[in-house]
Amino acid sequence: MANVVLEFKVSAGDSEPQSRPVLITGQHNNLQQVSWSQIKGKLQPVVSKEIWQAALSALNPNPTDSCPLYLNYATVAAIPSRVSRHNSPSSAHFVSRLVRSCLPGGNNRCIVMVCERSDVFASSCAMARAFPIFSRRSASSLLLIICLSNAADGVRLSARIVDTPCNEMNTDHFLDEIRAVGNELGITPVIIRGEELKQKGFGGIYGVGKAAEHPPALAVLSHTPDGATQTIAWVGKGIVYDTGGLSIKGKTTMPGMKRDCGGAAAILGAFKATIKQGFKDNLHAVFCLAENSVGPTATRPDDIHTLYSGKSVEINNTDAEGRLVLADGVVYASKDLAADIILDMATLTGAQGISTGKYHAAVMTNSEQWEAAVVRAGRNSGDLAHPLVYCPELHFSEFISAVADMKNSVADRENAQSSCAGLFIASHLGFDWPGVWVHVDIASPVHAGERATGFGVALLMALFGQASDDSMLNQVSPLGATTNVSEDHMERDCKRRRLV
């Protein structure tokens, strides 16, 4: 999988299955609309029109089904024609599964995806998820447009970083990944590192990462085009490994914690793909990098840290570290980057999987309109999302401290844990902050079994696609120019003006 190259084309072309094995997939009703003349170039001479029609008749997807057309060289597979309102119309998760299980072997293979135009982006990203890059085992070509190739590259970059263990992806290595993307885009990153973090007041990032061999860092990639009308910041949690700190994880819960950098990895992949497609507004990618390690200088429960917001935090759980680094990151985005819209993405809470499951990210925001937009972007991209409760007046009291402005972990772990974790981040901006704040918890969907999924890349590209120069991203974006609102309302809500 590591050296598979993905190529996208708008037409199937001609190739004989024995020289180029083929998987033909799509919703059953769409497959039935494909004429023999459109598909025969991929199947003849070993598959006849009669065999093709018989295979289509035999398919009975529940939720999926497949039928071999010729030995191990040609297969047709059907995904569900109908899905629930909380799923993507593209059936993206089923696309990934069928590609993994049904794609014939070989070095030069073809997947023919039969879908509606509105599902092209989500289907392409789903296919990319089936081909993770990272591998240390000792010891292909999909055929459509630059946008799809860039999106696929972003998904696979993110997945590779998340799959890579910490001995090969510590904070030094992650910074190298950021520099490499910056170099490709002609952007020099801003990096604040080690003791400089402490001197500048980043008590969250510094406190989490100070015990590790490789120092913590805040890194920023900035795209500032002429004519930009608003400033967007994506803030990613990049905990390259999470032992839990002195509140240490157990032997069954620590394995897999290399994935705790999934939010930062998704933002790096999405930023690279988004800027390559052209982006009209200011866009900053902020990476909060640290290894939550154990050592003589590790943060202790009862320690008090002052974060970049100026607020003091009593540490009652060193394993609730992601919110500390993100609090510094979002405040930096507001104070130093003057962001109008701040989105943070993180593998923040194990409770996310309980709240919204393995396939849907959990979204929380101070804007009801943006909540709906993220959910819609999830359905359009295949990176599904579902809302968490946003109710600071009921939940933020969980963080009350007798000696500091707040604690970093809740008093009652049975009271909306994932929501409370997000509220901790928002509290450092201030609940009356006038801009748009969006929090996306991707703890469960960041991986499927043992492999990373690259989750979040497609979601970000779709959510902010209206500001892209690419027509396909414009199409899948739920955001657009507001209409039918008063001038007074537009002035009050100018920072949310791109919502439908």
Helical (H) or strand (E) element with 239: strand 231-242
Give the helix ranges, DSSP H, for 130-231: 146-163, 171-185, 195-200, 203-209
Of the listed 40, 100, 200, 249, which one is catalytic?
249
Contact yes or no for 94/79 (Cβ under 8 A): yes
Using a CB cutoff of 8 Å and minimum separation of 24, what contacts does 113-118 make?
113/25, 113/26, 114/24, 114/25, 114/26, 114/27, 114/30, 114/31, 114/33, 114/34, 115/26, 115/27, 115/30, 115/90, 116/30, 116/89, 117/475, 118/89, 118/380, 118/475, 118/476
Calpha distance 386→308 (Å, rounded): 30
Torsional class of 271: left (φ above 0), alpha (ψ -120 to 50), beta (otherwise):
alpha
DSSP summary character for residue 202: -
Calpha distance 131→142 (Å, rounded): 11
Of the listed 258, 323, 376, 496, which one is catalytic?
323
Judged on CB neighbours under 10 Å (0-12, 13-18, 19+), 296 is: exposed
Is residue 165 helix, strand or coil?
coil
In angstroms, the first-to-last Cα distance of the chain is 40
Selection from 397, 220, 194 nearest residue 291 by Cα? 194
249 an active-site residue? yes
Using a CB cutoff of 8 Å and minimum separation of 24, what contacts does 225-230 make?
225/279, 225/280, 225/281, 225/282, 227/280, 228/280, 228/281, 228/282, 229/280, 229/281, 230/281, 230/282, 230/340, 230/341, 230/495, 230/497, 230/498
Could you count the other beta carbons within 10 Å of the beta carbon of residue 407?
A: 22
Calpha distance 500→489 (Å, rounded): 14
Residues classed as catalytic: 249, 323
